[in-house]
Structure formats: C-alpha cells, structure tokens
Amino acid sequence: MATVSSNATPRQHLVLDRHGWLMPGEQVTLAPSPNFDRRPPGTQVSLLVMHNISLPPGQFGGPYVQALFQNTIDLNAHPWFVNLKGLRVSAHFFVRRDGSIVQFVSTDARAWHAGVSRYAGRERCNDFSIGIEVEGTDTMPYLDAQYEALGALWPVLESRYPLAAVRGHEHIAPVRKTDPGPAFDWRRFGEVAGVALRRLPPA
C-alpha cells in the first residue's frame, strides 16, 4: 500500500538502558505513565503489538494522547472525550507523525495496551508483549518518518527480548479492535525494520 511522503529523518540510533527506558534525545521523550504494573514472574517478552491512536479521532499533533496515558486529559477539551471517562490505559511507545517517539512505560513492565486479547493460544497479551501506538487511523496512510522510527525501534527491542512475532491489535483482539488497520503497510515495516516475514501477520 502506498504511503504519504514526508521529510523523514535518517534512522535514529536508539539505546535502551538497563531499566527498559530509551535514552532521551532530540527525537525521544520520556513521559512516565502511572498505568502499568509488573509482568508475571518469569514471563518472557515475545510479542510486539502495533496499535493506532489519534485524539480527537482523525486529528494529529495535539497533546491529548500523552495526556490520556498520563491520566491528565481534560475531558471538556473536546465533545468526543466523554468516551474516555474513567479510562486507564497506556502503551510502551507512541510514534508521532513526525517520527518522534514518546516512551510511557519501561519495556520491562506491563503496559495496559492490549486489553482482553489472545495470541498463539495465550490469553492476556499485556503479560508478554510490548505495545507501540502509532499516531494515525485505520484508513489514513502512515508516514515515512513513522516507518523509519519503527525501523529504529525494532532492533533495539529485539536485541533485549526474544520477540517471536509482531501483530496488530486487530489480530489479538479481532472482535473488538481494527487497528492499525488496512492503512498500515506490514511489508514495508518488515523491510524497514528488518523483520523476517515469518514474524509478521500472514498476508
């Protein structure tokens, strides 16, 4: 699927510290979320889950995704935000349209991104996965800079964790979720990140 061109920057060199946090820099911001807990003892992180998000829906670039994940969102800022009342969610990473990355939860901890989910016969995908929210919608093409950022994230995560597969939220919760949707180019992600086809969703 074709993507919209943007002024993509050269691939970032990302470093994950021993506590599971990226080293902050020009394209990386740390914004700790309270919405996390410990993974079950002895759990190996083996799954990467892709999501999309935009707040308000279809609008990009605002402060609301970060505010949602930090429980500081002003529900009066937009009429649609009434749907977020009482929601406590997070993800490990958020990739903005310009390719910048915000990290909310240590990769060693369990972020609250997948909800009721199942993969390869295992329930509760939050237990053994890392969640990445990509700023976008199911139907609007993702940008070059976002694929480049994802391509930079994959090797640093793979070097730390035995990631056996990458799936969308739509694959692990197919009745409830549709993201990252048909606009996400899985083949392109695989090529940019160097992910073997066997780890990607079936075409």
pTM: 0.94
The full set of domains in the chain, from first to last, is 32-193 (3.40.80.10)
Which of the following is catalytic: 133, 135, 148, 170? 133
pLDDT of residue 12: 75
What is the tens place of the pLDDT at every residue in 64-100?
999 999 999 999 999 999 999 999 999 999 999 999 9
Per-residue pLDDT of 37-52, as tens digits, reads 999 999 999 999 999 9
* 203 compared with 139, residue with greater pLDDT: 139
pLDDT, one tens digit per residue, over 110-130 is 999 999 999 999 999 999 999
| CA–CA gap between residue 157 and residue 128 (Å, rounded) | 13
Q: Where are the beta strands (DSSP E) in the chain?
A: 28-30, 36-37, 47-53, 93-95, 101-103, 110-111, 118-119, 122-123, 129-135, 165-168
| 133 annotated active-site | yes
55: Cα within 13 Å, side-chain hemisphere? 23
Write the single-letter amino acid at 16: L
